[in-house]
Amino acid sequence: MKVEVITDALTIVGEGPVWDDRRNKLYMTDILGKRFRTVDLKTGSVEDRVMPQQIGFIFLGEKGEIYCGAQKGIYEITDGNFEPFCVPEILKGNRFNEGKVGPDGRVYGGTISYDFSSAFYRLDGNGTLTELFDKVGNSNGLDWDLDKGLLYYTDTHTYKTDCFDFDGKGNIFNRRTVFEYKEGSPDGMCIDENGNLWTALWGVGKVICFDPSTSKVLEEIALPATQPSCCAFAGENLDTLVITSAAHGRIIREENLSGALFAVKPGVKGKKVNRFVRN
């Protein structure tokens, strides 16, 4: 597949691309740069805002709000402020790393640690944060196949993508493995219209697509950056796969697109992001 560079405005650790279909904008975060970035896919123009905390992921509200999972909790990003929505006294792990809104309008996301002391949580519309399971290393890619009633989930430190049965009422159960990675560190992930999963492989410069029902790899995208971090479907037709990457730890004069934002046309479409229903 032909890889295009949307913008070479580099990020230290680019992550969490989210397509806002109402505003026709792409949002993403630079975690270590503490930046919230807005990208125009047609022009490649970039707007950055510096945040008071590291942001792991971004999600959208049903009324057009923009929220994020950060170091200390969940916040709303407004034009001039960084408003706390859910800041628990105890949050396992170092910070929120990855999260998305489920088909039920709740947020599901987890934290990161280096000793499996993190956890995976559910955020309800009233601001209640519930731990769903612990002993998490690096909570990463997730997405849903609503037709099959499944939540797919990757913990980078296990080198596996698992799935759970998902009841649509905030409960997940019956965890089992659907794919084991043989190279790289599995990072961000998304699902396409056919129910196949696309995963960024940090450290080996690839994004792969696999069928979770057979564990068969269907596609492989080679990138001019060693550390792809996340992928998501974007654009007015949701037929563009955007891929974030990281410059952290790389020698930029040798790999000058580390931290850039890429795009490919994979021949399939994604799905609109779910929006958070706040009570």
Catalytic amino acids?
187
At 118 the three-state DSSP class reads strand
Distance CA 110, CA 112 (A): 7
Round to whole Å and give the CA distance between 181 and 82: 37
Q: Which helix (H) or strand (E) holds 204?
A: none
Q: What secondary structure does DSSP assign to 29-89, as a single string?
A: EETTTTEEEEE-TTT--EEEEE-SS-EEEEEEBTTS-EEEEESSSEEEE-SS-EEEEE--S
Spatial neighbors of 263 by CB under 8 A, at least 6 apart, are: 3, 4, 5, 6, 41, 234, 240, 241, 242, 243
* Nearest-angstrom CA–CA distance, 52 and 72: 11
According to the 3-state scheme, what is the secondary structure of 124-172? CCCCCEEEEEEEECEEEEEEEECCCCEEEEEEHHHCEEEEEEECCCCCE
- Residue pair 163/175 in contact by the 8 Å Cβ criterion: yes
Name the one residue in this structure whose structure tokens are 């559910």.
122
**CB of 82 closer than 8 Å to CB of 52:** yes
For 237, counting Cβ atoms within 10 Å of its Cβ (0-12 exposed, 13-18 middle, 19+ buried), the class is: exposed
